[in-house]
Structure 1
Amino acid sequence: MLDRRLGAVALGVGGALIVGYCIYFDRRRRSDPDFKRRLRERRRKQKIAQEKSGLARLPDLKDPGAVQQFFLDEIQLGEELLAQGDYENGVDHLTNAIAVCGQPQQLLQVLQQTLPPPVFQMLITKVPTISQRVISAQSLAEDDVE
């Protein structure tokens, strides 16, 4: 009986020490003058990386209306850029559309029939990066914690 009480007390004291340790270092971290500067710098770098990779434009994937509108806009913009001869940017927009498409295989089949073979090949080389883009966009949105 005494061993159980002693064990419970030791467990309680140990838990309190761990919680105190966490609170102490959290306060110490937040009071560090460089903490906010480093946090702002990290967020600025993430924003720049998003803009370079086109991730800033991805819609909230939980909102079907926003996803549908984004899909249609990206298809239209991609087609316009391809018609103007800007193949690189046109393919980027089509890749963004594929990233949010519910049935990417069917879309790729349609694009294969409508795009010239060299342009479709450019698109195929960018397809493996699609899942990386979506995952990165979701994780960056969830990691925005202060």
Structure 2
Amino acid sequence: MATIKKFQVTFDCADPERLARFWCEVLGYVVQPPPKGFDSWDAYHRSPESEKTMGWFACSDPSGVGPRLLFQRVPEGKVVKNRVHLCTRVGTGLVGEERLATLQAESARLVALGAVQERVLLADEENESCIVMQDIEGNEFCLD
């Protein structure tokens, strides 16, 4: 039986390019080249081909380690809490006040990009601090 080694995370959204570019800033990802046969994303989006695919945009980890992110336009808006969310690991290895300060600094950076800080979960006997956020379309994610 084959083992899956690579995967893609797909986001349903209203504005694929805007959301993809936001996540590029969050994760240090890069925008993927436009589809074959197009010299730019603008050219692709002006083509009839773009309308057939409902609109999509993708970005990837320039190191090739992280998963590709695909953003696809859907007609309906987000109405409930995500069943799956991304945890961005900005505080790995840090504890206590140092961890919280690092998370808060990253939260401030992302809020400047349009994210919303939902709540801060402070460390307790079992867990270190994390911050629950929302991206520019309301999708929940954590700074962990």
TM-score band, normalised by shorter chain:
under 0.3
Give the structure with the larger helix fraction.
1
Larger RCO, structures 1/2 (Cα 8 Å, 6+ apart): 2
Q: TM-score, normalised by structure 2?
A: 0.22
Larger Rg, first or second structure (1 or 2)? 1
Give the structure with the larger strand fraction.
2
Q: TM-score, normalised by structure 1?
A: 0.21
